[in-house]
Amino acid sequence: MGELKQQENQLEQLRRYTKIVADTGDFEAIKAYNTTGATTNPSLIYKAAQKAEYQHLIERAIADSKCSALSGQALINGVIDKLLVLFGLEILNIVPCRVSTEVDARLSFDVTGTLNKAREIIGLYEQHGISRDRVLIKIASTWEGIRAAEMLEKEGIHCNLTLLFSMTQAIACADAKVQLISPFVGRIYDWYKKQTGKEYVGADDPGVQSVTGIYNYYKKFNYKTEVMGASFRNKGQITELAGCDLLTISPGLLDELQASYDPVPAKLTMENAINSDAERMTLDEKTFRYLFNEDAMATEKTAEGIRRFAVDIVKLEALIADKM
C-alpha cells in the first residue's frame, strides 16, 4: 500500500478530471507545474513587473511605444497594453493552451470602452502571430461587462468573465455564450467567514457550494460556457471541486497538492449535475440588477474586486511613468 500511495500525488490525481491552470504571472512557476494555461490580472502583473528578471519586458514595451503618436496618459496606457501582451506571449511559449489577459478594471461599467480595449489587446496578440483561440480576454462580471463579452464572442474574441460571485452573474454569462467564467471561491469564503465568524470546511464551504451550483446548472441545461474555479484559500477547496472544467491555482497551493498523496475522488460530475435540483432561469437587465443587488456578498465582493484591480492598474501606471 505504501508504494501505491506514492504513485500519484493530489495534483496528478486532480488532472484526471480537471484542467489545471496556473494563477500567476511568474514564468518559472508556470514552467514548474506543467499547467495547460495561465491566468493573470493587474495585481499579479504589477507584482511580477517589480522583479529584476522581468525588467526587460518593461523596457521592451516602452521602446516599442517610442514611435507612437500618443502622449501623456494615452501613451502610458499603450505601454501597459504592450506589457500585458508581452507577459502573455512569454506565457504562451510555456503553456500549450490559453492565457487570460485582463481589461482595465476601470472600464467595468463601460461597454464601448471594454470593446475597444479588448480589440486592441487581441490586435497586439495577432501582430505577434497568436490566434484568437489562445487568448481569453478577462472582463469583470458586471451587466456591462457581460454585454461587451457577448459582442466580443460574436467576433471570435473569447472571454473569461472574472470577479464572479453569484448564480445570477453565472446565468447571465451563460446566456451571453461567453467562453469561460471564473467564480471566486476564496473571496466568497472570506465574506461568509467574516460575517459569521465560522470556519468552513469541505462541502460546507460557501465558495465551494457556489461553484458546485453553477457547474450543475451549466451541465444540466447543456450550456457550453466553461467553469474555472479561482481564488482559493486552501487545498481543501480545490479537492472539493475535482471534476470542475478548469481550476486556476496559485503556486503555493500547487506545491501543497504535489506534496500530498491523499485520494482525490471526483466531486463534480455530469450525473450529479443532471440529478441536481437546479431550475432554469431567464434574466433580463431589470431582473439581473435586482437579484444581484439582493445578494449582499456578490455585490460587495464584485465592487471590492474592481476597486482593488483598479488600484493596482494605477500602481502599474506609476511604475511605467517612473521608468519613462
Q: What is the pLDDT of residues 213-240, one digit of tens each?
A: 999 999 999 999 999 999 999 999 999 9
**Which of 128-132, 263-267, 317-321 is predicted least confidently?**
317-321
- Mean pLDDT across the stretch 183-212? 97
- Mean pLDDT across the stretch 80-95? 94
pLDDT at 191 over 80: yes
176 compared with 64, residue with greater pLDDT: 176
Q: Are 175 and 283 in contact (CB under 8 A)?
A: yes
pLDDT of residue 68: 72
Determine what percent of the chain is predicted with pLDDT higher than 90. Answer: 82
pLDDT of residue 49: 85
Domain locations in the chain?
Answer: 14-323
Q: What is the pLDDT of residues 103-161, one digit of tens each?
A: 999 999 999 999 999 999 999 999 999 999 999 999 999 999 999 999 999 999 999 99
Q: What is the pLDDT of residues 35-85, one digit of tens each?
A: 999 988 888 888 888 888 889 998 998 888 877 767 788 888 889 999 999
**Which of 27-41, 105-119, 165-179, 196-210 is predicted least confidently?**
27-41
DSSP-derived pairing of the beta strands 246-249 and 180-183:
unpaired
**89: buried, middle or exposed (CB in 10 Å: 19+, 13-18, 0-12)?**
middle
- Mean pLDDT across the stretch 180-191? 98
The yes/no answer on whether domain 14-323 falls in CATH 3.20.20.70 is yes
pLDDT of residue 4: 44
pLDDT at 302 over 90: yes
Instruction: Give catalytic status of residue 138 as yes or no.
Output: yes
Question: Which of the residues 82, 117, 138, 235 is marked catalytic?
Answer: 138
pLDDT of residue 2: 42
Determine what percent of the chain is predicted with pLDDT higher than 70. Answer: 98
Q: Are 39 and 160 in contact (CB under 8 A)?
A: yes
Residue located via cell numbers 499603450: 78
3-state secondary structure the chain: CHHHHCCCCHHHHHCCCCEEEEECCCHHHHHHHCCCEEECCHHHHHHHHCCHHHHHHHHHHHHHCCCCCCCHHHHHHHHHHHHHHHHHHHHHCCCCCCEEEECCHHHCCCHHHHHHHHHHHHHHHHHCCCCHHHEEEEEECCHHHHHHHHHHHHCCCCEEEEEECCHHHHHHHHHCCCCEEEEEHHHHHHHHHHHHCCCCCHHHCHHHHHHHHHHHHHHHCCCCCEEEEECCCCHHHHHCCCCCCEEEECHHHHHHHHHCCCCCCCCCCHHHHHCCCCCCCCCCHHHHHHHHHHCHHHHHHHHHHHHHHHHHHHHHHHHHHHHC
pLDDT at 7 over 90: no
Mean pLDDT of the chain, nearest integer: 94
